[in-house]
Amino acid sequence: MRNLFQRENQNLISIVSASLFELAIGGCAFLIGWICGINPLGLFQWSWFDAVLGIGVAVGVVLVLIGLIYCEHRKTLNFIRDTKKLLQRMIFGWGPIEFCIISLSAGIGEELFFRGLIQSGLTDLLGGWLGVFIASIAFGMVHWLNNYYFICASIMGAFLGFLYQYTGNLLVPIICHTVYDFLVLLLFYWKFKFLKVDKSQE
């Protein structure tokens, strides 16, 4: 009983710490933006259409990922296994509620910083697509858990940057980022038992 209480305490501390860190990234976006004259929320507006668009795109990306796993795409499976080992250490003991909290925190905090601040600022200085490229590489670098993860995070950053550039609404990448993270964490949580993944790696 005591061990269970300690474990729940540790889980609470870890999710609160991780969420506060992600939200602090968003806070930094406002601070740096205030210094540099950039409003990270300058291109944010609520729209049901854009919210549904963000959800739909995220689900589509996750379905592509599942399709690659079903096809036993070698590099995808290597990426999944490497990332799973890292995530098992980072989020041990978390469940769907914790995934929802951290996904929402990351979606808001990181999109405010990388799209709302960096991409918006660089777009004004260097042009749209160069701003997307640089912001995407920066996004990949702060997610550099391994080489595969850096490449995939940079690609995902470019995709989110394209959504922001195309729609002109920060809501879309925020929703897409949040839903994508949540669904992927759920896949890891279920340990891919319903997918064609080598069970010897379980």
pLDDT confidence of residue 20: 95
Helices (H), 46-146: 48-70, 74-90, 96-111, 120-126, 128-142
For residue 41, give both structure tokens: 């929320």
Measure CA of the first residue to CA of the last residue in the chain; give whole Å: 28
User: pLDDT tens across 36-58, in order?
Assistant: 999 999 999 999 999 999 999 99
State how far the Cα of 45 lies from the Cα of 101, in Å rounded to an integer: 22
Q: Which uninterrupted H or E stretch holds 18?
A: helix 2-36
For residue 196, what is the DSSP state?
-
State how far the Cα of 190 lies from the Cα of 194, in Å rounded to an integer: 8
For residue 202, give both structure tokens: 């379980």
Q: Quickly tell me which residue has 């061990």 as its tokens.
A: 3
For residue 197, give both structure tokens: 């993944």
- Among 71, 100, 70, 78, residue whose Cα is nearest residue 189: 100
Q: Which uninterrupted H or E stretch holds 154?
A: helix 147-167
pLDDT confidence of residue 202: 43
Enumerate residue ranges in the chain where pLDDT < 70.
1-9, 72-80, 82-92, 191-202
pLDDT confidence of residue 196: 46
For residue 181, give both structure tokens: 């993270």
pLDDT confidence of residue 115: 97
Q: How many residues does the chain have?
A: 202
State how far the Cα of 90 lies from the Cα of 170, in Å rounded to an integer: 28
- Among 86, 101, 89, 83, residue whose Cα is nearest residue 23: 101
